[in-house]
A and B are shown apart, each in its own frame.
Chain A
Amino acid sequence: MPENGRTDTGPTAEPMIRLEQLTKRYPGQDRPAVDRLDLDVPPGEIVVLLGPSGCGKTTTMKLINRLIEPTSGTILLDGEDVTRADPDALRRRIGYAIQQTGLFPHRSVADNVATVPRMLGWDRKRVAGRVDELLTLVGLDPDTYRGRLPRQLSGGQQQRVGVARALGADPEVMLMDEPFGAIDPLTRETLQNEFLRIQSELGKTIVFVTHDIDEAVKMGDRIAIFNAGSGIEQYDTPERILTEPATPFVSEFVGSGAAIKRLTLSRVGDVPVPDWPSIGQDTHRDERAAAVRAGAREFLPLLDADRRPLGWVPADASGDVLDRGLPIVTRIGPGDSLFAALDAMLAANSSAVVVVDDAGAYRGVLDLETILSTVHTDAGPAVPRPGTVATPGTV
């Protein structure tokens, strides 16, 4: 299922990051902050570390690039033991983005993005080219933003620059600590979507920390749920975590509405849209109502010459309604989630919603029944063991 550029990786694939028995103990504390943690992060995937405050998810992330030095245990990066490698050289291979962005306030956007390439000794021309490439990638026009200072940008733009800086020298691995946490919900959604688009192009291996289950489900190829004692309760795909929580802690953390959240995982483009007849505009207006009455549906969509839906024709249509149909409030595209489709139905007080393709042409009508049956097939018969590397569920 090539959703968001996610790739299936069997359990035999070599992990990009492997943590073995990783432990962090602070002097004067009885309990270790991270206790004998094992975790495999497959290449090209987004693994979300999710858990309540103080569960050790951020500590775990910082152990990977050794901003916090582990007390014991091993960190393997692409098969190489980096537990005792030069930490600065290690960090230049790993992108790092945090919630507060941490942009250098006295340096221009371009200088911020150029940080790692310059440390690696790239020549001036190559650095400048890379900066423009990265700014374009994160949706900032280089000519407009290159020379600005961080404080002349909005929060969302600062976060984009933060991501561009983390991508500086094209690292294979990125660590992101609640990168969209301090941003208003609308901008956050945009940034999440753009980040998934970027990730589908770049296919980085990403460790992503959040405390927001919705963000975890949206961003993660896999989610590791941490309990308050910094142990991993379940490490699985979002689908499995929502359908088959391994422990009471996980079900409580996922909270109510797990079934609704699963709807956000499925794209309309990935589910079969039931056959639903339509009426072409070339049909004579007097035959239209008859066509509706002849079929099993109460309404039929009226299509223009390019097969774009114009309106709904009800069985009892007359007058103007026969010419243009009743207005269609929402059209759902293949990229929208089933959640958006259901939301559109509820908002329009209707049990069906028109589905169009990317060009806006009619594809069919999605009804409540189809959504319900999708949810039930989704629950699937297979129950994976917690911690197994499962392939993402099919929808």
Chain B
Amino acid sequence: MSFWEYLASNYLEVIGYTFEHAVLVLQGLALAVLVGVPLAVLTYRTGLGRAAAVNSASLIMTIPSYALFGLLIPLLGLGTAPAIVALTLYGLLPVVRNAIVGLREVDPAVTESARGVGMDRRRLLLSIELPLAWPVVLAGVRVSAQLLLGIAAISAAVNGPGLGNLILSGLSSAGTPFAVYLALEGILGIIVLAVVFDAAIALLTRLTTTRGARA
């Protein structure tokens, strides 16, 4: 039985897992943005704040995923919940770092003159700083998405959803040709998703960046 014959026999299962995988990554990514961008906004103005935010996010990246699940299972049990939280934490670093860089790259003359004509902090942030930093923020989201698509496979280890389940069942039948086919199916699904996510975020960047902020 060749790989393609095998794929033809279980493609519905593969498509189902791919869909789950996409939803899982989207949830983790969305939470990473919802936590990461405000974190960047709160910390980008001071050196100490920036260091604290970026270093914490980097530290999380160094925690092995199995160890992280070990920490999360007592709190959240098995299944989707610990998988989403883990992805959120892993996705923070590119989002936080890019948001800080983007906000700091706004020309000081622009923010000074905005304050000089009487713009308050909130308005300055919402109408000047974030729109100008937006392309850089989205570039961080793009990196984060690619990263999470790979990491999400591990969530099968805690009974989470996604393509990791194909890879995991391949591992459990190691030694048979199906083990390789299952792993290949998992990888193929992730590659397809990576291309789709990349294109989607590129499109989002074009649609949501005001023409003057485009580099």
Residues of A in contact with B (beta carbons under 8 Å apart): 65, 67, 88-98, 100-108, 115-116, 119, 149-151, 162, 165-166, 168, 175
Given contacts A98-B109, A100-B109, contact A105 B118 (CB under 8 A): no
Contacts of B111 in A (CB 8 A): 102
Q: Which residues of B contact A175 (CB under 8 A)?
A: 116
Among A100, A116, A150, max chain B CB count under 10 A is at A100
* Apart from the given pairs A96-B116, A101-B113, 8 other A-B contacts in the complex at a CB distance below 8 Å: A88-B118, A101-B109, A104-B114, A105-B212, A106-B211, A119-B118, A119-B119, A149-B211
Give the A-binding residues of B (Cβ under 8 A). Answer: 107, 109-120, 123, 128, 131-132, 210-213
- Collect the chain B residues with CB atoms within 8 Å of residue A101's CB: 109, 113
A interface secondary structure, majority: mixed
Q: What residues of chain B lie closer than 8 Å to A107, measured between beta carbons? A: 210, 212
**Could you show 22 A-B contacts with beta carbons less than 8 Å apart?**
A67-B112, A67-B115, A88-B120, A92-B118, A94-B118, A95-B117, A96-B116, A100-B107, A100-B109, A100-B113, A102-B112, A103-B110, A103-B113, A104-B212, A105-B212, A105-B213, A106-B131, A116-B117, A119-B119, A149-B211, A165-B113, A168-B117
- Interface pair B210/A91, CB less than 8 Å apart: no
B110 to chain A: closest residue by CB: A102
Contacts of A106 in B (CB 8 A): 131-132, 210-213
Provide the residues of chain A in CB contact with B123, threshold 8 Å: 119
Task: Give bound CA distance, A105 to B110, whole Å.
Answer: 8
Knowing A88-B119, A119-B118, A119-B119, the reply to whether A102 touches B212 (Cβ < 8 A) is no
Complex formed: what's the CA distance from A192 to B117 in Å? 22
Q: Which of A97, A106, A115 has the most CB of B within 10 A?
A: A106
Q: Which residues of B contact A90 (CB under 8 A)?
A: 118
User: A80 CA to B92 CA in the complex, in Å?
Assistant: 49
**Majority SS at the chain B contact face:** helix
Verify B110–A98 contact, CB threshold 8 A. no
The 5 closest A-B pairs by CB, nearest first: A102-B113, A96-B116, A92-B118, A91-B118, A106-B212
> Do B116 and A91 touch (CB < 8 A)?
yes
- Residue from A102, A105, A150, A151 in contact with B132 in the complex, judged by beta carbons closer than 8 Å: A105
Contact B212 A151 (CB under 8 A): yes
Known contacts A100-B109, A149-B211; A92 and B131 CB within 8 A of each other: no
With A98-B112, A102-B109, A106-B132 as known contacts, state yes or no: A166 contacts B117, CB within 8 Å: yes
Q: Do A91 and B115 have beta carbons less than 8 Å apart?
A: yes
In the complex, which residues of chain A have a beta carbon less than 8 angstroms from the beta carbon of B116? 65, 67, 91, 96, 98, 102, 175
Tell me the bound Cα distance from A101 to B213 in angstroms: 17
Contacts of B115 in A (CB 8 A): 67, 91
A387 to B131, CA, bound (A): 48
Which residue of chain B is the closest to A92 with respect to CB atoms? B118
A93 to B117, CA, bound (A): 8
Instruction: Tell me the smallest distance from the CB of A377 to a CB of chain B, in Å.
Output: 43
A152 CB → nearest B CB, Å: 9
Residues of A within 8 A of B118 (CB): 88-94, 116, 119
CA distance A67 to B211 in the complex (A): 30
Report the Cα distance A149→B210, complex, angstroms: 11
B115 — nearest CB in chain A belongs to which residue?
A67
Smallest CB separation, B124 vs chain A (Å): 10
- Judge whether B109 and A149 touch: CB under 8 Å: no
Q: In whole angstroms, what is the CA distance A89 to B115 when docked?
A: 11
Closest partner residue, chain B, to A166 (CB atom): B117
Q: Which of A88, A89, A96, A108 contacts B113 (CB 8 A)?
A: A96
A331 CB, min distance to chain B CBs, angstroms: 42
**A149 touching B212 in the complex, CB below 8 Å, given contacts A100-B109, A102-B107, A102-B109:** yes
For the complex, give the distance between the alpha carbons of A150 and B210 in Å. Answer: 13
- Select from chain A the residue with minimum beta-carbon distance to B116: A96
Contacting residues, chain A, for B109 (C-beta < 8 A): 98, 100-102
Most buried by A among B110, B115, B118, B212: B118
Chain A residues closer than 8 Å to B128, beta-carbon distance: 104
- What's the least CB distance linking B53 to chain A, in Å? 25
> B120 contacts which chain A residues (CB < 8 A)?
88
Q: Which residues of B contact A65 (CB under 8 A)?
A: 116
Q: Considering the chains assembled together, what is the distance between the CA atoms of A90 and B212 in angstroms? A: 29
Q: How far is the CA of A115 from the CA of B128 in the complex (A)?
A: 11
Which of B110, B113, B123, B128 is the most central at the interface, judged by chain A CB atoms within 10 Å of its CB?
B113
Min Cβ gap B78→A in Å is 46
B-side contacts of A88, CB under 8 Å? 118-120
What is the distance, in angstroms, from B147's C-beta to the closest C-beta of chain A?
29
Bound Cα distance from A95 to B116, whole angstroms: 8
Q: Give chain A residues whose Cβ lies under 8 Å from the Cβ of B132.
A: 105-106
A95 to B128, CA, bound (A): 19
The answer for the CA separation of A366 and B128 in the assembled complex, in Å, is 56
CB within 8 Å for A91 and B113 given contacts A105-B212, A151-B212? no
